[in-house]
Chain A
Amino acid sequence: MARPVVELVGCTRDYGGIRAVAALDLVVHEGELLSLLGPSGCGKTTTLNLIAGFVPPTTGRVRIDGQDVTDRPAHQRRLGVVFQSYALFPHLSVFENVAFGLRERRTPRAEIERRVRASLALVRLDTRAEHRPAQLSGGMQQRVALARALVYEPRVLLLDEPLAALDKKLREEMRSELREIQRSVGITTVFVTHDQSEALGLSDRIAVMHRGRVEQLGTPREIYERPATRFVAEFIGASSVLRGRATAADRVTLTGGEAVRVLGVAGLRAGEAIELAIRPERIRLAGGEEDNVMDGRVTGVVYQGLQTELTVEVGGGQRLLVFVAEPTPTALAPGQALRLHLPPDAFMRLQDSGDEVGR
């Protein structure tokens, strides 16, 4: 594994009586893009502020490159930050905005000129150097903010919901552009977002945060396919929950009476009550399979273009969300009877978070 660049060790941050971040341990490795993903109030922005040095931890230490920087103010941490609001200086030109960090570092004039031009070229804004930020579109301002944060070659790039203020189409463009720039510069990056598709599409690793703690840390694929807790399964992607009782290490009888075989769910003991989740895109319309088939009745149909989203009621009154790719093999309408196939390896076991957070 690459070496650690940012380390949070047992970091807690309280605001008044509210614990925003609780005993957080987190390591960001050299060159990776780590996302902090979670709903608002989960502590992700506070975590970013702890790394940036905008707020000190109530307890715990922050290390960068192995050095303890807990007591070092923001301006001595060699970080680049891009804010949700961009925070461009309205009284300075685009050029001077980007040059700001270099001037503070007493870089020679000629070098400032060269590096600012190169940086603006990197974000394709070389022709806008003399404009004021207010004269640029949202997407351009975003790129200026990125150039400003990268030009002095900071050790770590911190992105606080940088795409949230853009409209959908631009957001998708900027997402891939951001990833490209981050890769080409090779800078260690922490990316704060509440948007799961952003996190899944951009990250090397994702830390899913909930109530001031990291619920799960892993690659996008691990997070999506093997959510560690109920919260992660419910927050990321859509899923349906099925209750039942294990009858063997690989067999579960659901409350509706259907027996299913499950693969890849570790530690099942016969007799225990469990909850399983399944992603709607993994469920298929049955076509002759013998195993893991159940009968249901369509209660809802939503056409989405790429796919049709069905709500299907199965035994015991449990409901399944099912995505059927368009064009669908049969016409689908409410009230219709269906046979569904649930692949054995599509089940995820839901477990509550190990520890509850004190307030």
Chain B
Amino acid sequence: MFRLAVVLLLAFMTLPTVVVMAVSFNPTAILSFPPSGLSMRWYVNVITYPQFQRAMWNSLLVTAGAVALAMPIGTAAALALARGRVRGASIWATLLLSPLVVPGVAAGLGFLILGAALGLLRSRSVLIAAHVALVLPFVVRSVWVSVRNLDPTLERAAASLGATPWRVFRRVTLPLLRPGLLAALLFAVIVSLNEFVVSLFISTRLTEILPVAMFTYVVNYTDPSIAALSTLFILGTFLVVWLADRFLGLGHVFLHHR
């Protein structure tokens, strides 16, 4: 009985993905299920569609920029907060984690007004800034756990052995935070690549990222291109997670932080 419930739940969780993947091979220009044949034409359409190419490029730039900024900021914040040497640490922590609870629409509107006031909406800078704010909670949380598990005596030991504060950080702190940093990196990339609501507010035709471009496309056309793109998106994300698990030992990251 219980087993059946679990199977049904899993089926319900994975079914939309399966449906989307199936539809993407539909030869006709209608989003119908089950597909009436097998065709790659929508994949060709997606790959050659200029707006998707541009959006793909935008996504890469925005995600790379946001992650490159959020990782050091989030790591520094986690170190400062977890070590408890900061005045008003709980306020800082609340602020850093707040994007998790602020509705995307509200945040998007805020960034839109700010971006407009600063005259930055034509560039990707507002998008990057917004993504930094949105991924920071994930970075801070992941690194935080690792910092909490890091024995400060190890850093004292390194200092007593003659290591300068920078060398202590490089040779002891950073290597021991590695699992947390990898988890943070992975979360940040996935969250940024999939971000939609906030980005919708602050994108232009020239700067929009892939999820926004997909939405715009769906609003205008109803052919299975979007299913094809979604399938590519899912496979891409899956590949990243699989590679991370395979080569960076991500199982350890998620199962027990050490």
Interface residues of A (CB under 8 A from B): 52-54, 73-81, 83, 85, 87-91, 100-101, 104-105, 148-149, 152, 158
Contacts and interface: CB of A to CB of B under 8 A. Distances in A.
B153 A104 contact: no
A323 B208 CA distance: 88
B99 to A, nearest CB: 32
B249 to A, nearest CB: 13
A79 B156 CA distance: 12
Interface of B: 151, 153-154, 156-165, 167-168, 171-172, 175-176
B156 A75 contact: no
B167 A79 contact: no
B162 A85 contact: no
A79 B175 contact: no
A87 B163 contact: no
Contacts of B156: 52, 54, 74, 81, 83, 87
Contact of A101 (B153, B161, B175): B161
A77 B164 CA distance: 12
Given A89-B172, A91-B176, A152 B162 contact: yes
Given A75-B160, A75-B163, A100-B158, 15 more contacts: A74-B160, A77-B160, A83-B153, A87-B151, A87-B154, A89-B154, A89-B157, A89-B158, A89-B172, A101-B162, A104-B163, A149-B160, A152-B161, A152-B162, A158-B160
A148 B163 CA distance: 13
Which interface residue of A76, A78, A91, A148 has the most chain B CB atoms within 10 A?
A: A91
Contact of B157 (A76, A78, A81): A81
Which interface residue of A74, A80, A149 has the most chain B CB atoms within 10 A?
A: A74
Contacts of B162: 75-76, 78, 101, 104-105, 152
A131 B163 CA distance: 23
B153 A85 contact: yes
A88 B228 CA distance: 52
Contacts of B159: 53-54, 73-75
A79 B171 CA distance: 19
A152 B160 CA distance: 11
Which interface residue of A73, A81, A87, A91 has the most chain B CB atoms within 10 A?
A: A87
Given A74-B156, A90-B176, A91-B175, A85 B161 contact: no
Which interface residue of B163, B165, B175 has the most chain A CB atoms within 10 A?
A: B163
B160 A79 contact: yes
A123 B153 CA distance: 23
Contacts of A148: 161
Contacts of B161: 75, 80, 100-101, 104, 148-149, 152
Which interface residue of A52, A73, A75, A85 has the most chain B CB atoms within 10 A?
A: A75
A271 B34 CA distance: 111
Contact of A87 (B157, B164, B168): B157
Contacts of A152: 161-162
Nearest to A100: B161
Nearest to A98: B161
Contact of B160 (A81, A85, A90, A105): A81
Contacts of A52: 156, 160
Contacts of A78: 162
Nearest to B168: A75
Contact of B151 (A53, A73, A85, A105): A85
A54 B156 CA distance: 7
A44 to B, nearest CB: 17
Contacts of A104: 161-163, 167
Nearest to B156: A54
Nearest to A145: B157
Contacts of B153: 83, 85, 87
A70 to B, nearest CB: 16
B229 to A, nearest CB: 41
A105 B163 CA distance: 8
A52 B151 CA distance: 18
A98 to B, nearest CB: 10
30 contacts: A52-B156, A54-B156, A54-B159, A54-B160, A73-B159, A73-B165, A74-B159, A75-B163, A75-B164, A75-B165, A75-B168, A78-B162, A79-B160, A81-B160, A83-B153, A83-B157, A89-B157, A89-B158, A89-B172, A91-B176, A100-B158, A101-B161, A101-B162, A104-B161, A104-B162, A104-B167, A105-B162, A148-B161, A149-B160, A149-B161
A81 B162 CA distance: 11
